[in-house]
């Protein structure tokens, strides 16, 4: 039963600290998405990768957030410096997008619950 994995599951940190969240997409998937979920904003897309290349990161605060895919099995989302308003659940999702096919179904990881004090 293939699943998206995310680490850590929970993170509590102090304002100003760097936070790194990791995601392992389902083997064979070529798209990776990062979402943030808060009570006020719901689910927001932060970044989207296809074949490890960033295609859309318009939802991400550029000054403090960065997303990368060092290889096909690892995606990272970094916040530096973190702020209390970054407290949220961060989800990673992966899918398989074929060139001429429909949008991929996204399979979500369990999320990282981030609390910035």
Partner 1 sequence: AQKVTQAQTEISVVEKEDVTLDCVYETRDTTYYLFWYKQPPSGELVFLIRRNSFDEQNEISGRYSWNFQKSTSSFNFTITASQVVDSAVYFCALSEATGSARQLTFGSGTQLTVLP
Torsion on CA atoms 14, 15, 16, 20, rounded to nearest 10: 60
Query: Which of residues 18 and 56 has its CB atom nearest to partner 1 in the complex?
Result: 56
24, 31, 82, 94: which one contacts partner 1 (CB under 8 A)?
31
Pick between residue 70 and residue 102 the one whose CB is nearest to partner 1. 102
Contact region for partner 1 (CB under 8 A) — 15-23, 62-70, 72-80, 85-93?
85-93
CB of 81 to partner 1, least distance (A): 26
Whether residue 112 contacts residue 21, with contact meaning beta carbons closer than 8 Å, is answered with yes
Site mask for partner 1 (CB under 8 A), range 91-110, x = bound: x-x---x----xxxxxxxxx
C-alpha–C-alpha distance, residues 34 and 8, integer Å: 15
As measured in angstroms, the least distance from the Cβ of 19 to partner 1 is 18
Contacts (CB under 8 A) with partner 1, residues 32-71: 33, 42-43, 45, 48, 50, 55-56
């Amino acid at each position: 039963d293939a699943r998206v994995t995310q680490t850590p599951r929970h993170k509590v940190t102090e304002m100003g600290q760097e936070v790194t969240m990791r995601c392992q997409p389902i083997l064979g998937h070529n798209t990776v998405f990062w979402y943030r979920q808060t009570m006020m904003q719901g689910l927001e897309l932060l970044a989207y990768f296809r074949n490890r290349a960033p295609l859309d990161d318009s939802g991400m605060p550029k000054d403090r957030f960065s997303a990368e895919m060092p290889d096909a099995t690892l995606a990272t989302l970094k916040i530096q410096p973190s702020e209390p308003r970054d407290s949220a659940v961060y989800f990673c999702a992966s899918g398989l997008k074929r060139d001429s096919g429909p949008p991929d179904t996204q399979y979500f990881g369990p999320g990282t619950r981030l609390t910035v004090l």
